[in-house]
Chains A and B, each alone.
Chain A
């Protein structure tokens, strides 16, 4: 494959061209209650070409390998046309051409386990969870995904590498009268199949919360001090700050780019944030990105001061900052974009008890339930929470959606816990159309924020 791709990339008339070709295989087993919704092993193949000419850029996706040469020609022609109209010429930060194989070799490789075993494991959990009373919908899914990739450039890179991930997720919907409440829990999120085993108690605990929520009160709307658990704090740092730390989004917003200069004080003194794709066993671990750059650790915030950001070769050149190895694609029909590998808040020194004791009236917010940002504004949900009164945890509350402005909120982080935990399930949505990258991890210790807005019932 590499020979064929190198021959095609060598024929490109563009100043720079790279080609990525992929073969992907997914195992998808999905149940709703006792109904098997899906039992399939879909495959996909295809390629993606990027060309730069005279400072202009073009990209092209194709499904059939026989369309490769035609695609290289079309992409070069579009890049030349773009170069004629582009005022500020694009360039790429230099990187040493990379050659060789970068394969993953997990000890308990999901690819080695028979399909029947995976099915049996999912059914084992399902049967236990079906016993929880008042759960009216139980969604269970086993997924693993294997991607073999080849990448070449006309600068001399030629690599073969792969990505593997497996996980099991259960969603629980409980109903009591007219109140319907949902929670969910995922395990796995890496290439280690053993992380999927023996997780009965974790799933059961979250299922029971869904049932209890049907008796809980909605959180009252208002502004409160909150403690976020590691799952929710991980989503906060991923959604609210992480996406602004991806240089491709920042590049086309000069006013915002000016605000986010390296050296700016953007958070409280105790806030330290890092992106690190080299941490094995968490979802965003990988060896090399989809631009032929090796992954690495990038310090983003140190003592509240912006110290780095995530880049492609193109944005690194534009910002005159170091490469970070964050260019990733979710499939051959999509181009590489800058994405977080594993972003996390570094551990602090507060205990959970100290944090709860510090609040007179506020909320302990637990379990990520998705989030969304728009520039410096964020909103994200939580699966459940507890009221804090007089420094003690109280009643369970539901229907929590919280929002705020990033920089104000990061300055209001006044305690950071000593219990850094990574979310097992990876996931990041970005781009238009939305591209879900399951190989993106997030983590945090518990954190205290002095004030956020909770949307709820008045």
Chain B
């Protein structure tokens, strides 16, 4: 069907690009220690982008079953469209990225229930009074991109994700741990144990004093660092000259302990051989020992800046994703290089500080400029030990100032929902509490 629509499109337009995505998921969800529901999806979506007399047009639909409708919509859009200074991808060769597992695709629903039941039993044995929530989700997706320039790219990926969480007693705030792989894994006992340990630390609540103090960033909280940094290296901010990183290429912007890669080819969830415009993704350093080395460009912002796309045109944003979105600069898979300290050494080195596991309100601060102003989630640390969970405590600062002085980076690397990170101990940030 893709070829049929492409052939029809070529008769109407100078250039064409078809993005087609199919997704199948099954998810078992437990809420408050009981099976809440079993959710499944079998959905698809398509976007057609065309160029006629240098003008861009686009159309989208759920399937390719009505080619006449989507082609007519694209024609109307192109008649009103803007002139664009770029062509769709013509790449024919892509790196090998194997993130598809037939076993994950066929993972039985009964085994997903079994994994949840076992985790429930183990958690309740240690923490009998808590309202544990669990889920196991299998996901398989297929993305096809075809262009009039000859690109025929196909991505097939799977994932299996296990999550254990529970609200802290008397609050609505939850503690959670998760495991995500592209192929099936056994019962994640380590994640369940980590959850139990972290939950036990929540019994006592502590409001931090108002002062500057060391902040131990958990891998799960460093997504805030990366969202902020990626706004700064986005081709959009560079073209608009609103980036705080203008003219900073090859300049030191963070401590030399920070090295951050765009690492899209290591086989794990998030890996991609090409972006949502059919441009090959590239493994490269974004930050090398604190020095800014690279930017995120899609076809559009690359052309505006007189550069080529870096393979970072994705239908993703801080809020939202989906087939109907236009691609914009976004990383495929971030990876921060580990250091040499262990997490426990870093924790024990803190006389008075915060272990930041997350935060709320990130997006309403001026994060595009590097500002962080959040209500902190995590733990208070005194004399190298966790003394309780944070309550009524804000952390504020700016990554381009505060991440210049890093005390240590851990050897352990863990996944977050926006990349893979070690623990990072920032020398000090402003804390507002009592």
Q: Identify the A interface with B (CB < 8 A).
A: 26, 32, 35-46, 56-64, 67, 71, 74-75, 78-79, 81-82, 85-88, 115, 119, 136-137, 173, 175, 178, 180-182, 221-222, 244, 249, 251-256, 259, 332-333, 335, 369-382, 399, 401, 403-405, 429, 433-434, 436, 453, 455-458
Within the complex, the shortest CB–CB distance from A230 to chain B, in Å, comes to: 18
Within the complex, the shortest CB–CB distance from B391 to chain A, in Å, comes to: 8
Cβ B62 vs Cβ A379 within 8 A: no
> What are the residues of chain B within 8 A of A175 when measuring CB–CB?
241-242
Cβ A86 vs Cβ B172 within 8 A: no
Cβ A252 vs Cβ B133 within 8 A: yes
> What are the residues of chain A within 8 A of B62 when measuring CB–CB?
43-46, 63-64
Which 6 pairs, one residue from A and one from B, show the smallest C-beta to C-beta distance?
Answer: A375-B172, A381-B364, A379-B361, A36-B82, A252-B31, A455-B373
The listed residue (A36, A43, A256) touching B69 by CB distance below 8 A is A43
Cβ A40 vs Cβ B360 within 8 A: no
> What are the interface flags for B54-85 relative to A under an 8 Å C-beta threshold, 1 for contact and 0 otherwise?
00011111110100010001001100111000
Closest residue of chain B to A178 (Cβ to Cβ) is B244
> What are the residues of chain B within 8 A of A401 when measuring CB–CB?
361, 364-365, 373-374, 394, 396
> What are the residues of chain A within 8 A of B167 when measuring CB–CB?
252-253, 255-256, 375
Bound CA span A378–B172, Å: 11
Q: Is B43 an interface residue (CB 8 A)?
A: yes
Q: Among residues 345 to 394 in chain B, which have CB atoms less than 8 Å away from a CB atom of chain A?
A: 359-366, 368-369, 371, 373-375, 377, 391-392, 394
Q: Is B115 an interface residue (CB 8 A)?
A: no
Bound CA span A180–B398, Å: 14
Q: Among residues 39 to 57 in chain B, which have CB atoms less than 8 Å away from a CB atom of chain A?
A: 39-45, 57
Closest residue of chain A to B371 (Cβ to Cβ) is A399
B residues contacting the other copy or chain, number (CB 8 A) = 77
Bound CA span A203–B250, Å: 40
Known: A35-B82, A255-B131, A376-B172. A42 touches B60 (CB 8 A): yes
Q: Is B249 an interface residue (CB 8 A)?
A: no
Cβ B37 vs Cβ A377 within 8 A: no
Bound CA span A254–B32, Å: 8
Q: Is B200 an interface residue (CB 8 A)?
A: no
The listed residue (A45, A252, A379) touching B131 by CB distance below 8 A is A252
Known: A39-B80, A255-B167. A436 touches B34 (CB 8 A): no
Q: Is B341 an interface residue (CB 8 A)?
A: no
Cβ A403 vs Cβ B73 within 8 A: no
Cβ A372 vs Cβ B37 within 8 A: no
Q: Is B306 an interface residue (CB 8 A)?
A: no
Bound CA span A61–B65, Å: 18
Bound CA span A394–B374, Å: 26
> What are the residues of chain A within 8 A of B35 when measuring CB–CB?
56, 82, 85-87
Cβ B171 vs Cβ A62 within 8 A: no
Report the stretch among B98-106, B150-158, B267-275, B316-324 that lies at the interface: B316-324
Q: Is B226 an interface residue (CB 8 A)?
A: no
Known: A381-B361, A405-B392. A251 touches B80 (CB 8 A): no
> What are the interface flags for B205-217 relative to A under an 8 Å C-beta threshold, 1 for contact and 0 otherwise?
0000010100000
Closest residue of chain A to B363 (Cβ to Cβ) is A370
Cβ A335 vs Cβ B39 within 8 A: yes
> What are the interface flags for B79-116 relative to A under an 8 Å C-beta threshold, 1 for contact and 0 otherwise?
01110000000000000000000000000011001000
> What are the residues of chain B within 8 A of A42 when measuring CB–CB?
59-61, 73, 324
Between-chain CB contacts (< 8 Å), 30 pairs: A40-B59, A43-B60, A46-B43, A61-B43, A63-B63, A78-B38, A78-B40, A78-B109, A81-B109, A86-B35, A136-B242, A137-B240, A173-B240, A181-B366, A259-B170, A373-B360, A374-B360, A377-B172, A378-B360, A378-B361, A379-B374, A381-B361, A382-B364, A399-B371, A434-B320, A436-B320, A453-B394, A455-B373, A455-B374, A456-B396
Cβ B392 vs Cβ A136 within 8 A: no
The listed residue (B37, B76, B110) touching A58 by CB distance below 8 A is B37
Cβ A221 vs Cβ B394 within 8 A: yes
Cβ A38 vs Cβ B58 within 8 A: yes
Q: Is B5 an interface residue (CB 8 A)?
A: no
Q: Is B404 an interface residue (CB 8 A)?
A: no
Within the complex, the shortest CB–CB distance from A255 to chain B, in Å, comes to: 5
Cβ B172 vs Cβ A253 within 8 A: yes
Q: Is B169 an interface residue (CB 8 A)?
A: yes
Q: Give the secondary structure class of A's interface.
A: strand
Known: A37-B326, A58-B38. A375 touches B171 (CB 8 A): yes
> What are the residues of chain B within 8 A of A222 when measuring CB–CB?
210, 432
Q: Is B36 an interface residue (CB 8 A)?
A: yes
The listed residue (A75, A255, A259, A434) touching B319 by CB distance below 8 A is A434
Cβ A61 vs Cβ B34 within 8 A: no
- 8 new A-B contacts at CB < 8 Å, known A63-B42, A64-B44: A40-B57, A43-B62, A61-B41, A82-B35, A375-B171, A376-B173, A403-B361, A434-B320
Cβ B34 vs Cβ A87 within 8 A: yes
> What are the residues of chain B within 8 A of A74 when measuring CB–CB?
40
Within the complex, the shortest CB–CB distance from A443 to chain B, in Å, comes to: 19
The listed residue (A56, A61, A136, A436) touching B241 by CB distance below 8 A is A136
Closest residue of chain A to B318 (Cβ to Cβ) is A434
Closest residue of chain B to A62 (Cβ to Cβ) is B42
Within the complex, the shortest CB–CB distance from A149 to chain B, in Å, comes to: 15
Within the complex, the shortest CB–CB distance from A30 to chain B, in Å, comes to: 8
Cβ A433 vs Cβ B321 within 8 A: yes
> What are the residues of chain A within 8 A of B416 when measuring CB–CB?
none
Within the complex, the shortest CB–CB distance from B29 to chain A, in Å, comes to: 10
Bound CA span A45–B363, Å: 31
Q: Is B266 an interface residue (CB 8 A)?
A: no
> What are the residues of chain A within 8 A of B240 when measuring CB–CB?
32, 136-137, 173
Cβ A82 vs Cβ B364 within 8 A: no
Known: A40-B58, A67-B42. A370 touches B364 (CB 8 A): yes
Cβ A377 vs Cβ B375 within 8 A: yes
Known: A40-B73, A43-B73. A455 touches B365 (CB 8 A): yes
Cβ A252 vs Cβ B324 within 8 A: no
> What are the residues of chain A within 8 A of B37 when measuring CB–CB?
56-59, 82
**Best-surrounded residue of A57, A62, A82 (most CB of chain B within 10 A):** A82
Bound CA span A62–B167, Å: 32
> What are the interface flags for B281-294 relative to A under an 8 Å C-beta threshold, 1 for contact and 0 otherwise?
00000000000000
Within the complex, the shortest CB–CB distance from B12 to chain A, in Å, comes to: 16
Cβ B360 vs Cβ A372 within 8 A: yes
Cβ A180 vs Cβ B43 within 8 A: no
Q: Is B430 an interface residue (CB 8 A)?
A: yes
> What are the residues of chain B within 8 A of A45 when measuring CB–CB?
61-63
> What are the residues of chain B within 8 A of A458 when measuring CB–CB?
212, 430
Bound CA span A85–B58, Å: 47
